[in-house]
């Protein structure tokens, strides 16, 4: 029996949410808050968590070794298909926070996530349960606004819409903690490991670094004292979103596509290649020039990323990062380029952005078997098709020429590595 208050409901209880939200919540001072978790669709994680009293092992994997701790913040786990339990817990007066990790797709047309949220909010209104905050933890610019738009556009009842506008807050947030998919070797390696939960079927492996920046928009809404666990509460999350999307996520995409073409398999391997590292530094230079943050903060973020990416014990595969480029590149690369050209129309596309777009183009056309992206152009696409997805307004002669030239440079560099992608051989 837990003494935690089941005040948070989370949708999409995968590895990241358990390494980030649950970890932060478990470290707060004051009242002990708990999380009622729902999976996206598959029931497997909920079943596994239920079988071990919703506890699990968090393995923090540093360059010099692992540490393990048992996280007990999840107090109940349900499959995402349990609509009755969902409506019940969202309607509970004990619940004041709903958090989500549903990926970019969860906010797009055709997703059932907004309808599920609306159903829960409708039940809450009927129960007279009071104000509540919906907090997105997904990698989207202004994710709170995106979530609000997705929810309100799904409501057809004018009275329910008015209730949502008066009683539901949608604070934006920026989250960061590299959390690779857990492998069978990770599970097997827990046997007898100090601090691990015995017999754990669903451990999570993560890096030492963690960050959470959250807009302070909780007027009249009870929440955990997240700031006591290191969460940064701010008036506007935009600069921190941009820093994360443009520096970490943008370079991840660049490393994924360029690294695969050069025969690498993981982020650490790609970052160890001077050609990849140089392209990343160029991309960071371009992003840094557009970030509305002090240079010292940007420099510190870049230095931390170099250390994080170089951690050879965090096996973050490039294929995993490479999925969904059609959704990721517009905000990770396209937005930086727009800011650059708005500030200086004569600046042109920088070499970092040109390399990132060229590498994605070659990934699509020369490695189609590795593409996992329903929105991407096909293997016969040209540079105009690529720009049409990432930044159709930037399909200009200078940009096309720069991306085409970058593609030729990548082809020349990748030639010795052809046929070695699956083996992860250094090129």
Of 139-143, 193-197, 215-219, 229-233, the range with the lowest mean pLDDT is: 139-143
What local confidence, expressed as pLDDT, does residue 41 receive? 72
Q: Is the pLDDT of residue 420 over 60?
A: no
Q: How far apart are CA 329 and CA 335, in angstroms?
A: 9
Among 184, 223, 245, residue whose Cα is nearest residue 21:
223
What local confidence, expressed as pLDDT, does residue 418 receive? 60
Mean pLDDT of 24-34: 97
Tokens read off for 28:
């707060």
Q: How far apart are CA 160 and CA 165, in angstroms?
A: 9
To the nearest whole number, what is the mean pLDDT of the chain? 94
What is the chain's alpha carbon radius of gyration, rounded to the nearest angstrom? 22
CB 106 within 8 A of CB 37: no
What local confidence, expressed as pLDDT, does residue 139 receive? 84
Each domain of the chain, given as residue ranges in start order, spans 5-236, 239-416
Q: How far apart are CA 143 and CA 149, in angstroms?
A: 10
Give the confidence band of 77 by pLDDT, cuts at 50, 70, 90. Answer: very high
Q: Following CA atoms 27, 42, 138, 288 in sequence, which dihedral angle do they give, to the nearest 10 degrees?
A: 100
122-179 pLDDT per residue, tens: 999 999 999 999 999 998 889 999 999 999 999 999 999 999 999 999 999 999 999 9
276-321 pLDDT per residue, tens: 999 999 999 999 999 999 999 999 999 999 999 999 888 889 999 9
Q: Is the pLDDT of residue 349 over 80?
A: yes
> What topology does CATH give the domain 239-416?
1.10.1040
Q: Which CATH number fits domain 5-236: 3.40.50.720, 3.40.50.1100, 3.30.9.10, 2.30.110.10?
A: 3.40.50.720
What local confidence, expressed as pLDDT, does residue 1 receive? 56
What local confidence, expressed as pLDDT, does residue 208 receive? 96
Q: How far is CA 309 from CA 178, 240, 312, 378, in A?
A: 9, 19, 8, 30
Give the confidence band of 40 by pLDDT, cuts at 50, 70, 90. Answer: confident
Among 237, 252, 319, residue whose Cα is nearest residue 283:
252
Q: Is the pLDDT of residue 425 over 50?
A: no
Mean pLDDT of 93-106: 95
Q: What is the pTM of this model?
A: 0.87
387-412 pLDDT per residue, tens: 999 999 999 999 999 999 999 999 99
First vs last Cα of the chain: how many Å apart?
54
Tokens read off for 204:
């999570």
Q: How far apart are CA 197 and CA 180, in angstroms?
A: 19
What local confidence, expressed as pLDDT, does residue 66 receive? 95
Q: How far apart are CA 237 and CA 250, in angstroms?
A: 18
Mean pLDDT of 201-223: 97
Mean pLDDT of 83-100: 98
């Amino acid at each position: 029996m837990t003494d935690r208050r089941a005040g948070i409901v989370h949708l999409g209880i995968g590895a990241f949410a358990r390494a980030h939200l649950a970890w932060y919540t478990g470290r707060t001072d004051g009242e002990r808050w708990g999380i009622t978790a729902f999976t996206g669709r598959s029931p497997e994680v909920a079943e596994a968590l239920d079988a071990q009293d919703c506890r699990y092992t968090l393995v923090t994997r540093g360059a010099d070794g692992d540490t393990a701790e048992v996280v007990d913040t999840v107090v109940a786990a349900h499959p995402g298909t349990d609509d009755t339990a969902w409506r019940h817990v969202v309607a509970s007066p004990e619940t004041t926070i709903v958090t989500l990790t549903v990926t970019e797709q969860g906010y797009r047309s055709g997703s059932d996530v907004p309808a599920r949220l609306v159903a829960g909010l409708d039940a809450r209104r009927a129960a007279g349960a009071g104000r509540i905050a919906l907090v997105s933890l997904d990698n989207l610019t202004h994710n709170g606004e995106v979530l609000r738009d997705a929810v309100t556009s799904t409501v057809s009842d004018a009275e329910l819409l008015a209730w949502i506008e008066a009683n539901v807050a949608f604070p934006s947030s920026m989250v960061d903690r590299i959390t690779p998919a857990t492998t069978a070797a990770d599970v097997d390696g827990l046997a007898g490991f100090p601090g691990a939960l015995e017999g754990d079927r669903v451990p999570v492996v993560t890096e030492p670094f963690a960050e959470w920046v959250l807009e302070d928009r909780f007027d009249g809404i009870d929440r955990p004292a997240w700031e006591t666990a290191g969460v940064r509460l701010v008036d506007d999350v935009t600069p921190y979103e941009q820093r994360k999307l443009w520096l970490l996520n943008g370079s991840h995409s660049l490393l994924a596509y360029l690294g695969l073409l050069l025969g690498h398999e993981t982020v650490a391997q790609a970052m160890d290649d001077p050609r990849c590292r140089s392209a990343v530094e160029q991309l960071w230079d371009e992003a840094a020039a557009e970030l509305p943050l002090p240079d010292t903060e940007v420099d510190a973020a870049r230095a931390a990323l170099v250390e994080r990416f170089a951690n050879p014990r965090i096996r973050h595969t490039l294929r995993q990062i490479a999925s969904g480029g059609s959704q990721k590149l517009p905000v990770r690369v396209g937005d930086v380029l727009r800011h650059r050209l708005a500030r200086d129309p004569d600046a042109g596309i920088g070499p970092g952005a040109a390399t990132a777009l060229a590498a994605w183009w070659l990934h699509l056309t020369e490695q189609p078997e590795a593409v996992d992206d329903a929105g991407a152009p096909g293997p016969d696409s040209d540079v105009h098709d690529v720009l049409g997805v990432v930044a159709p307004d930037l399909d200009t002669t200078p940009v096309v020429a720069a991306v085409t030239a970058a593609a030729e440079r990548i082809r020349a560099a990748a030639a010795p590595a052809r046929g070695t992608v699956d083996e992860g051989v250094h090129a």
